[in-house]
Structure 1
Amino acid sequence: MSLATLRLAFRPLLNSLATTRQVLFSPQCLLYTNTGLTVALSITGDVFQQWYQSARKQNSQPWDKRRTAHMAGTGLLIAPFIHYWYVFLDRWLPGRTFRILWRKVLMDQLVCSPVYLSIFVLSLGIMEGRSWENIKDDVRGKGSVLYVAEWVVWPPAQFVNFYFLPSKYRVLYDNTISLAFDTFWSYVWYEMEKEEDKGDETANKKSLTDGTEETKSIAEG
């Protein structure tokens, strides 16, 4: 079969995909498209993180659907903020000069990232029924870890976003990069806490054992 025949055979499919893309990324549908993408990739990141942790520990833990639902909920809340943030930023700082790019990247890190992280930590804490004191501890602890990680990942990624891509594809690109980062978020929120608790438990057991041995030595002496 020749290349021309293949093109002819796939033309209806390609035309259909092109039409779908135009509709999904049109101004009328863009908010809904961006929200759907954010929720879908939040789910994907958490499912992958759960699978990875299960494989690393060589056990067959069941899929925690409630945890994944919570991550999807945060995606649903965060998506509109990200959508309108890019709309605002492109209108306030139009153009692609080096100076404009630097200002956009700095604004994104200094304004968007803290708000983004606050929505994530607060919404997840509320959905999981944490106390206000625990949520404040999460903001100071886990939020700080995530914010430092964002400074490593996002400035170079956002240079690409702001220079090469039209506004309507910014959230799609953001979510593509976020797929790996969402996996890290899920780890910081769920697995890091478990590891810290496990470490505290081990330390307590060691302290108790040392205390028992010391008491025994005194009694024998």
Structure 2
Amino acid sequence: MAALWRGCGRVLARRPGAAQALTAGALMGAGDVIAQQLVEQRGLRGHHCPRTLKMMAIGFCFVGPVVGNWYRILDRLIPGNTKVVAVKKMVLDQDYMDALMTNYCIWPPVQIANFYFVPLQHRLAVVQCVAIVWNCYLSWKANRM
């Protein structure tokens, strides 16, 4: 496990954008698989692969690059690693009122911890790991029949 973590760190250092895009795509795909298998209980035969691939494409093409770049911008706008800096970054990150209201119980504490404890190159992965439950919910909600 330690070797895997070190390998991920080397890839993130060399190609951060590609690594973050792959991470976001894989985790969004995992959220859809969880939604289909555990929440909707479709079973393997009822699994809708194009839907999973769509979620992965959204993560790979949009979430990874956009959110990864957003975190880099936040780091340039508000440099530092103190608790106050983490709160400032969290406040700037929560600029959509509907997202703030919907996710208020989860995202502020996650983002404060993320901006305070987690190095820049790992922040997107942390958010995507937490967001896997949210992605599962969104996938289920968007695809209710």
Task: Say yes or no: does 1:73 pair with 2:57.
Answer: yes
In 2, distance between residues paired with 1:104 and 1:152?
A: 17
Equivalent residue for 2:47?
A: 63
Contact persistence 2:20–2:125 (CA under 8 A): yes
Contact persistence 2:86–2:113 (CA under 8 A): no
In 2, distance between residues paired with 1:70 and 1:155?
A: 28
Q: 8, 11, 18: which is aligned to 1:32?
A: 18
Q: Map Cα deviations across residues 180-201 of structure 1 (whole Å, 9 max, x no partner).
A: 111111122112xx3xxxxxxx
Q: Map Cα deviations across residues 115-152 of structure 1 (whole Å, 9 max, x no partner).
A: xxxxxxxxxxxxxxxxxxxxxxxxxxxxx5x6533222
Kindly tell me: are residues 19 and 157 of structure 1, through their superposed partners in 2, closer, same or farther at Cα, counting changes over 3 Å? closer
Higher RCO, 1 vs 2 (CA within 8 Å, ≥6 residues apart): 2
Q: 82, 92, 95: which is aligned to 2:80?
A: 95
Kindly tell me: are residues 89 and 24 of structure 1, through their superposed partners in 2, closer, same or farther at Cα, counting changes over 3 Å? same
Q: 109, 116, 133: which is aligned to 1:163?
A: 116
In 1, distance between residues paired with 2:109 and 2:5?
A: 30
Q: Which runs of 5+ in 1 are unaligned?
A: 1-12, 115-143, 195-221
Q: Which runs of 5+ in 2 are unaligned?
A: none
Question: Residue 20 of structure 1 aligns to which amino acid in structure 2?
Answer: G
User: Deviation above 3 Å: which 4+ runs of structure 1?
Assistant: 16-19
Kindly tell me: are residues 46 and 98 of structure 1, through their superposed partners in 2, closer, same or farther at Cα, counting changes over 3 Å? same
In 2, distance between residues paired with 1:19 and 1:44?
A: 23
Task: Say yes or no: does 1:21 pair with 2:8.
Answer: yes
Question: Residue 97 of structure 1 aligns to which amino acid in structure 2?
Answer: T
Contact persistence 1:109–1:151 (CA under 8 A): no
Q: 83, 102, 110: which is aligned to 1:149?
A: 102
Report how many residues are paired.
143
Q: Map Cα deviations across residues 150-190 of structure 1 (whole Å, 9 max, x no partner).
A: 22211000011011111111111111111111111112211
Kindly tell me: are residues 149 and 81 of structure 1, through their superposed partners in 2, closer, same or farther at Cα, counting changes over 3 Å? same
Kindly tell me: are residues 73 and 163 of structure 1, through their superposed partners in 2, closer, same or farther at Cα, counting changes over 3 Å? same
The 3-state SS of whatever aligns with 2:143 is: helix
Contact persistence 1:42–1:179 (CA under 8 A): yes
The 3-state SS of whatever aligns with 1:25 is: helix
